[in-house]
Amino acid sequence: MTRLSSGEVLTGILGAATLGVLALLPLADQGYYLSLAINMVLFAALCTAWTLFSGPTHYVSLATAAFYGLGTYTVGLGLDYLPFPVLVVMGGVVAAILAGLVGAATLRISGVYFVIFTFGLAELVRQIVSYTQVKLSSRMGLYVFTDFTERDIYWMLLGLTAVVFITGWLINRSRLGFAMQIIGNDETVAKHSGIDTAKLKIILFMISGAFIGIAGAIIAPRYSYVEPPGAFSPMISFLVVIMALLGGTRKLWGPLVGVIPFTIVMDIVSVRFPNDTSIVMGLAFLVIVYLLPDGITGRLEQFWAYLKKPRAAPEAAPVEERA
Amino acid sequence: MLRKMTMMMAASAAAFVMATGVAAAQDTLKIGASAPKTGPLAGGAAVTHWPNVKLWVEEVNKRGGLKVGNKQMKVELIEYDDKTSGEEAVKNIQRLATVDKVDFLVSPYSTGINVATAPLIAKYGYPQIATTAATDNVAEFAKRWPNSFWLLGTSKQLAEGAVEALKKMRDSGAIGKRVALVNVADAFGLELVRAGKPALQKAGFDIVYEASYPLGTQDVAPIISAAKAANPDAFVAFSYPPDTFALTDQARIQKFDVGAFYVGVGTAFPGFAGRFKDNAEGVMGVGGIDPNSKAIQDYAKRHKEVTGADIDAWASAMTYAGLEILGQAIERAGTTDKAAVIAEIKKKPFQTVVGEVNLADNINHKVWTTGQWQGGTFNGVASDGIPGAKAPVKKQPWK
Amino acid sequence: METIVTGILLGGTYALIAIGLTLQYGVSRIMNLANGETLIAACFVTFWLFTSYAVNPIWGILVIAPIAFAVNWAIYMLLLKPLVDRARNQGMLEVDSILATFGLLFLFQGLMLRSFGGAYTSYAFLAERFELFGAYYGLNRVVAFGAACVIALALYLFLYWTRYGTAVRAVAVNPGSARLVGIDVAKAAALSFALGGALTACGGTLISTFYTFNASMGVVFTMKALIIVIMGGVGDVRGALIAALILGIAETAVAGLIDPGLTLAATYALFTFVLLFRPQGIFGRQQA
C-alpha cells in the first residue's frame, strides 16, 4: 500500500471534519431544512456511486432507477419478515446481481446504445415487478411502517455517502482504478495491454449498482408507501445524470459540487414559482449547459490552471542562466 | 413648541397603533396546499383538486372570511407543486409547517401521496381531510393517524357498488350473467378487482374474460377484441383516465355492444361526455352525484362560473365538501387551535354539497359508488347508505 | 388476422412517433430528449385549431408542419449549433445535447402547462368505423397509417433518390468524411433537425385524433421513439420503420395472445434481444 501524500491526508481530515459538522445538522433543525438535507445527501450518495462507474468509463448509465427501486422493494417486501439492516444489505446484493447480469450482457455495446439499454432496463424491471406483484399478491403498493425518524434516515444516508467516497478513493488508488483510467482514455489500448476490460467494467458496475440499491433501501421507510411508478421513476435516473454532469465527473467529489447547488436551486424555484417550475428549470439547464461545459469542477480546474500559469515563467529563467 | 409637537406625534402614534390594533382584529388564516401541478397525476388534480381549492378560497373571502371567535379571518392560500412525487410532497408539507407556518392544510391529492404525507401531517397535528384517497385501509389509517379523516370511501365499496348496479340490471332482466372484467395494473385498479371479482362471483355472475394491462396503455384494441370474442353481457373495466377513454372509444369502433358498460375513473369527467356525446349515454363508472340534489346543481354552476371548468362527478364535490368541513369546523371551534378543530370535526355531522357528512369515527361511510350518464348528467345509480339512486338503464348499441 | 392488422396499424403509429427522431439523432447527432414535447405541442395546436376554428386536422398539418420546421431550425441554429461547434468529440456532443434538450423538455412542458393547463385533452375526429376483412378499425388510425406510409415514402425518395438526400445520408454515416467531399455538413445537420421536427409534428397531429394527451406526456413518447430509433439502427430511416412495425405487431400479439399486462415487458425484452445480437441495431453500422 503506497503511503498517503500530505495532500491526501489533508483532504481526509477536511472530509472527516465536514462529515462531523454535517452530522450535527439534525440537532439544529428537524423540519424543512432537514428534509432538504436528506434529499441532498440521498442524491450525493446516488451521484457519487453513479460516478464510480460512469466517470472513468464515460458510459452514461440510466439504470439508476432500476437499482434504486430494487433496493426500495427489497425493504418493502421483506420488512415483515427480516430485520432492517439485513434488508439493506440484501438490497445492495440484489442490485449488484442485476448489475452483474446487465454488465455481462452489454459488453459489446457502447456509447448511446448503452444509455438507451440501461434506460430500457429500468422500465423493464419496473414492469416485471408490477406484473409479479399483480399476479402474486394482487396488491401493487407496499406499506412500509417503521419507527425511523427523518434524523435516523439522514444519518444513515450520510454514513452511506462517506462509505461511497472512501470506496471510490480506495478504487482510485488501486490497480482497478488505474486500469479504469486507461480504459476510459482508450479502450483499444487497454485491451492490447492485456487488461481484461470486460471483467473490470462489470465489477465496477456491480459496486456502483450495489451502493445505489443500498440508498434505495435506506430511503424506503421515509414515505410509508412504495409503489412501482414512484420507486422506479425514470426521473431519478435523469436527475442523477444531470447533477453528476453538472458537477463534473472527472473528480470523485465532482458530483457533490453538482448536487448541492442543483438541489438548492430546484428548491428555491419550486417555492418562488410554484406554477412555473418547469419553465425556470428549463432555462436554468440551458444556462448550465452553455456556461459550464465540463461541469462546475471543469470551470474550477480551468480557474486553478489559470492561477498557476504566471508562476511557470520565472522558473524557466534560472535554468537558462545556468546553461 | 417642541412639547406640543411631541404630544402631537405621540397622539398620532397612539392613534396609529389603535388603528392597526383595530385592523389586526381582521387577521388572515394561512392555509397551505400541496398537490400535483406536474407529473402523471397533474391531469387529474387539474380537474378535481385545484379548481375546488380556488373556488372555496374565493367564496370564503367574498363573504368576509371565516368567523373565528370574534374575528373575521380571510384565507391566504399558499400553494406548492408536489410533482406527483411523495418525496416532493413530504418536503412541501415540511416547508408549509415549519417555514410558512400555516394554520391549516388542504389534504394532498391521491391515495399514494395522502399516505406518504400522513405521518408528517400527524406529527405536526394538522387535521388531514383526505377527499381523493380511495383505499381499503382507511380503518387502519384512521387508527394510526387520529388526525386524519377519509371521505371518499374504500375500493371495496366502489367495486361492490359496481356489482350492485350490475345486479340491479340483471334482476330487471336487462342483462344476463356473463361478465368480461379488465383492470389497470395500478394500485387502485388492483384493489378494485381484488374486491370486485369475488363480489361478482358471489352475486352469481360468470367471468368469461379477465385481463390486466399496464398503466398508460392507450392501444387497447386487442383487449376489446378478446373481450368481445368471449361474448359477455356486461363489460367492467377498473381503469384510469387515459385508458378509460381509450377503452370506450375502441369498444365503440369495434361495435362491442353489451347491455352494461362500466369503465372506472374518468367516466365522471366532463371531458368524457364532451368527447363521446350521445355515445356516453348509458356508460357507467366510478362516482356519481345525487340526481335530485339542488345543492350539487348550484355548486356545479358556481364552479363553472368561478373556475371556468365543469365539475367531475366523483371527487370534485367531495373535495369541496372536505374544504367546507374544514371551514365549518374552524368556525365551530372558534379558534385556530388544531387539536380543537380536530375534536370539532368528530363531534357533530356537517352539512355540505354532498349532503350530511358524519366523521365521528374519522371515516365517511356514505358514498356514491357508481354513476351512469343519463341524459347528460352522471347520476348516481348505486351507493352505500345514500338514498335516491336512479335506476340503471340498459346500454343502447353504439352509434 | 385482426391481430396482424391492428399490429400493423400500431406500427404505423409508432413510425410516426419515431421517424423525426431518427433524422435528428442520425444525421444531426442530437439526442433530442424534447422530441416528445414537439409531438405533444402539435397535438395541442391541432386540438385548438379543431375545437376553436373547426380546422380539419389534415389541413392542420399544412399549418403545423412548416411552423415546426421553422421552430426546430431556430432551435438548432441558436441553441444546438454552438454545442456542436464546441464539442471535441461525439461523446461530448451527446452529453451536451442530452443536457440541453433536457432543459428544452422542461421549458416546453412548462410553456404548454401555462397555455393549455394540465388536464387530459382529447377530441373525436374520424372516429368512425373502417371495415377490413370482417373486423372494425378506427378510421383515424387507418388514416394515420396511410399518412405514415406517404411520409415514409416521401422521405425514402428524398434520401435515396435525390442528390441532396444522398448528401444527408453521407453526413449520417460519417460527418468528417462528408465534409471532405464538399458537403456542407452544418447546413445538412440543420436541415435534418428541422425536418425531423416537422415530421414529429405531423406525427403529433395525426395521433392526436385518437390518443388522449396532456402536457406532461411528452416523456412517454420520447422514450418509445428512442427505443425504436436505437433498435432500428441509428441514422437509418428504413431501420426505424421496420423496428416500428416489428414493435407494433409484437405488442399487439402479446396483448391479444398472451397477456395485456406484459406488453411493455415484451417491448423492452425485444429491444434488449435485438441489441444483444446486433448491437448496432437492425440496419446500423458497426461502430468503429
The tens digit of pLDDT for each residue in A117-169 reads: 787 777 788 878 877 777 776 566 677 777 778 888 888 999 999 999 889 88
> Which residues have a Cβ under 8 Å from the Cβ of A86 and sit 6 or more positions away?
A78
Residue B304 and residue B169 share a domain: no
- pLDDT (0 to 100) of residue B26: 55
Query: Ranked by mean pLDDT, which of A131-135, B5-9, B17-21, B149-153 comes out on top?
Result: B149-153
Which of helix, strand or coil describes residue B326?
A: helix
Reply yes or no on whether the pLDDT at B18 is more than 70.
Answer: no
Crossing angle (nearest 10°) for helices A234-247 and A32-57: 70
Whole-angstrom Cα distance, residue B246 to residue B261? 14
Q: Is residue B308 part of a domain?
A: yes
Query: Ranked by mean pLDDT, which of B183-187, B393-397, C231-235 comes out on top?
Result: B393-397
Q: B240 is in which domain, residue-wise?
A: 156-291+369-384
Residues of chain C with C-beta less than 8 angstroms from the C-beta of B211:
259-261
Q: Does the CB of A58 have a partner CB in chain C at under 8 Å?
A: yes
Whole-angstrom Cα distance, residue A216 to residue A64? 10
Specify which residues C63 forms β-bridges with: none
Query: In the structure, what pLDDT confidence band is assigned to residue A253 with cuts at 50, 70 and 90?
Result: confident
> Which residues have a Cβ under 8 Å from the Cβ of C256 and sit 6 or more positions away?
B222, B225, B226, C3, C6
Reply yes or no on whether the pLDDT at B140 is more than 60.
Answer: yes
Closest by CA position to B104, among listed B179, B172, B28: B28
Stretch (H or E) spanning B370: strand B367-374
Residues of chain B with C-beta less than 8 angstroms from the C-beta of C138:
249-250, 253
Query: In the structure, what pLDDT confidence band is assigned to residue A323 with cuts at 50, 70 and 90?
Result: very low
* Range scoring the smallest mean pLDDT among A154-163, A194-203, B95-104, B250-259: A194-203
> Which residues have a Cβ under 8 Å from the Cβ of C64 and sit 6 or more positions away?
C42, C45, C46, C201, C202, C204, C205
Reply yes or no on whether the pLDDT at B10 is more than 60.
Answer: no
The domains of chain A are located at: 6-266
Reply yes or no on whether the pLDDT at B61 is more than 80.
Answer: yes
Query: Mean per-residue pLDDT for B125-150?
Result: 91
CB-CB under 8 Å, C13 with B46: no
Whole-angstrom Cα distance, residue B335 to residue B384? 34
CB-CB under 8 Å, C136 with B254: yes
Reply yes or no on whether the pLDDT at B15 is more than 50.
Answer: no
> Could you read off the pLDDT of A83-129 as tens digits, one per residue?
888 989 999 999 999 998 888 877 666 666 677 778 777 778 887 88
Residue B81 and residue B178 share a domain: no
CATH number, domain with residue B200? 3.40.50.2300
CB-CB under 8 Å, A241 with C91: no
Top residue of A29, A30, A34, A35 to mutate, by most chain B CBs within 10 Å, is A35
Nearest-neighbour CA in chain C from B177: distance (Å): 24
Contact A80, A87 (CB under 8 A): no
Residue B86 and residue B202 share a domain: no
Q: Does the CB of A273 have a partner CB in chain C at under 8 Å?
A: no
Residues of chain C with C-beta less than 8 angstroms from the C-beta of B275:
122-124
CB-CB under 8 Å, C3 with B222: yes
Q: Does the CB of A140 have a partner CB in chain B at under 8 Å?
A: yes
* Helix, strand, coil abundance in chain C, percent, nearest 5: 75, 5, 20
> Which residues have a Cβ under 8 Å from the Cβ of C276 and sit 6 or more positions away?
A105
Reply yes or no on whether the pLDDT at B218 is more than 80.
Answer: yes
CB-CB under 8 Å, C95 with A111: no
Residue B280 and residue B208 share a domain: yes
Q: Is residue B395 part of a domain?
A: no
Query: In the structure, what pLDDT confidence band is assigned to residue A43 with cuts at 50, 70 and 90?
Result: very high
- Of all residues in chain B, the percent with pLDDT exceeding 90 is 47
Q: Does the CB of B307 have a partner CB in chain A at under 8 Å?
A: no
Q: Does the CB of B210 have a partner CB in chain A at under 8 Å?
A: no
Hey, what's the cell of A216? 434505495
Whole-angstrom Cα distance, residue B218 to residue B244? 9
Residue B376 and residue B231 share a domain: yes
- pLDDT (0 to 100) of residue C286: 57
Nearest-neighbour CA in chain C from A245: distance (Å): 8
Reply yes or no on whether the pLDDT at B4 is more than 60.
Answer: no
Nearest-neighbour CA in chain C from A204: distance (Å): 20
Output A132 or A4, whichever has higher pLDDT: A132
Query: In the structure, what pLDDT confidence band is assigned to residue A190 with cuts at 50, 70 and 90?
Result: confident
CB-CB under 8 Å, B193 with A138: yes
Q: Does the CB of A234 have a partner CB in chain B at under 8 Å?
A: no
> Which residues have a Cβ under 8 Å from the Cβ of A18 and sit 6 or more positions away?
none
Whole-angstrom Cα distance, residue A254 to residue A295? 8
Q: Does the CB of A39 have a partner CB in chain B at under 8 Å?
A: yes
Residue B380 and residue B255 share a domain: yes
Nearest-neighbour CA in chain B from C90: distance (Å): 32
Q: Is residue B49 part of a domain?
A: yes
- pLDDT (0 to 100) of residue B247: 92
Q: What is the mean pLDDT of chain A?
A: 81
Residues of chain B with C-beta less than 8 angstroms from the C-beta of C125:
none
> Could you read off the pLDDT of B329-360 as tens digits, one per residue?
999 999 999 999 999 999 999 999 988 899 99
- pLDDT (0 to 100) of residue B14: 45
Specify which residues B75 forms β-bridges with: B29
A282 → closest Cβ in C107, C279, C281: C107
Is the ipTM above a cut-off of 0.85? no
- pLDDT (0 to 100) of residue B318: 92
* Range scoring the smallest mean pLDDT among A281-290, B161-170, C31-40: A281-290
Q: Is residue B359 part of a domain?
A: no
Q: Does the CB of B80 have a partner CB in chain A at under 8 Å?
A: yes
Kindly report the CA angle at C204 between C36 and C152, in degrees rounded to 5?
A: 105
- pLDDT (0 to 100) of residue B13: 46
Reply yes or no on whether the pLDDT at A64 is more than 50.
Answer: yes
Residues of chain B with C-beta less than 8 angstroms from the C-beta of C252:
219, 221-222
Crossing angle (nearest 10°) for helices C2-26 and C218-232: 90
> Could you read off the pLDDT of A220-240 as tens digits, one per residue?
888 777 777 778 887 788 788
CB-CB under 8 Å, B217 with C260: yes
Contact C50, C122 (CB under 8 A): no
Residue B228 and residue B326 share a domain: no
CB-CB under 8 Å, C227 with A120: yes
CATH 1.10.3470, domain C2-277, yes or no? yes
Nearest-neighbour CA in chain A from B87: distance (Å): 7
Which of helix, strand or coil describes residue B168?
A: helix
> Which residues have a Cβ under 8 Å from the Cβ of B372 and sit 6 or more positions away?
B165, B282, B283, B284, B285, B288, B378, B379, B381, B390, B392, B393
Q: To the nearest 10°, the Cα dihedral for C113, C114, C116, C121?
A: 20
- pLDDT (0 to 100) of residue C1: 78
Q: Does the CB of B215 have a partner CB in chain A at under 8 Å?
A: yes
Q: What is the mean pLDDT of chain B?
A: 87
- pLDDT (0 to 100) of residue B11: 46
Hey, what's the cell of C23? 433524422
Residue B167 and residue B187 share a domain: yes
- pLDDT (0 to 100) of residue C36: 92
pTM for the predicted model, two decimal places: 0.81
Whole-angstrom Cα distance, residue C109 to residue C107? 5
Q: Is residue B364 part of a domain?
A: no
CATH topology of domain A6-266: ABC transporter involved in vitamin B12 uptake, BtuC (1.10.3470)
Reply yes or no on whether the pLDDT at A16 is more than 90.
Answer: no
- pLDDT (0 to 100) of residue B17: 45
- For chain C, residues with pLDDT lower than 50 are 288
Contact C7, C253 (CB under 8 A): yes
**Chain B: which residues have CB within 8 Å of chain C?**
36-40, 42-47, 182, 185, 211-214, 216-223, 225-226, 241-242, 245-246, 249-250, 252-255, 266, 269, 271, 275-277, 309
Q: Is residue B132 part of a domain?
A: yes
The domains of chain C are located at: 2-277
C261 → closest Cβ in B185, B250, B271: B185
